Amino acid sequence: MPELVFFSGTMDCGKSTLALQIEHNRSARGLQGLIFTRDDRAGEGKLSSRLGLVTDAVEVADDLDIYAYVVEHLSQGGKVDYVIADEAQFLAPEQIDQLARVVDELELDVFAFGITTDFRSKLFPGSQRLVELADRVEVLQVEALCWCGARATHNARTVNGAMVVEGAQVVVGDVNRSADEIGYEVLCRRHHSRRMTSATAHAAQLSPDVLPVGPA
């Protein structure tokens, strides 16, 4: 039976790499898929991983009906055996509904990849809808690590190396940007709650075992 599968994890845990691997494995067997993405770090209409792999994709605009796009592609003689949706957290809830409709009405597997929560530890609307609708939610087992060496569970937005908790939910950045730019860093829950990034920890020369003096 076809499925809607949501592969979830923090930034830097290999989601896009897995999406590219699924595409490679299936295309090597003669299958053809449609790849959708939004706000990829490599630019519009690209699916890329931090390992340097990249492929073309359909950029999802606010008004794109994904189900209608797939139907139109099929009606024009195109072949579609599966659908991949990367950066799925940026999709609108109704676009997630359209992915589910691709599974139920067109009987195609849909593989969605994305992070679950934003830099404030709040659910992205697209990710919330995926959790609600997906046949399976798979948490990726390639663990990203906090600067302290613990398993990273939270995504942090940084400005000048310091963690910020205000601003628009979607600001495209990368974990590899220099400290004087808007960027992102994965942290364990403890250091996310303390707003302690690698840069601020280094500047303060604090041990990760030091307990906070003030109220939690």
Report, as residue numbers or ranges, the catalytic residues.
87
d(CA 66, CA 38): 12
User: Among 95, 154, 159, 99, which Cα is nearest to 125's?
Assistant: 95
User: Could you tell me the two tokens for 29?
Assistant: 């067997």
H or E stretch covering 128:
helix 125-133
- Quickly list DSSP for 43-108: -TTEEE-TTS-EEE-EE--TT--HHHHHHHHHHTT---SEEEE-SGGGS-HHHHHHHHHHHHHH--
User: Among 136, 133, 100, which Cα is nearest to 8's?
Assistant: 136
d(CA 15, CA 137): 13
d(CA 102, CA 2): 10
Contacts of 9 (CB under 8 A, 6+ apart): 15, 115, 139, 140, 142, 144
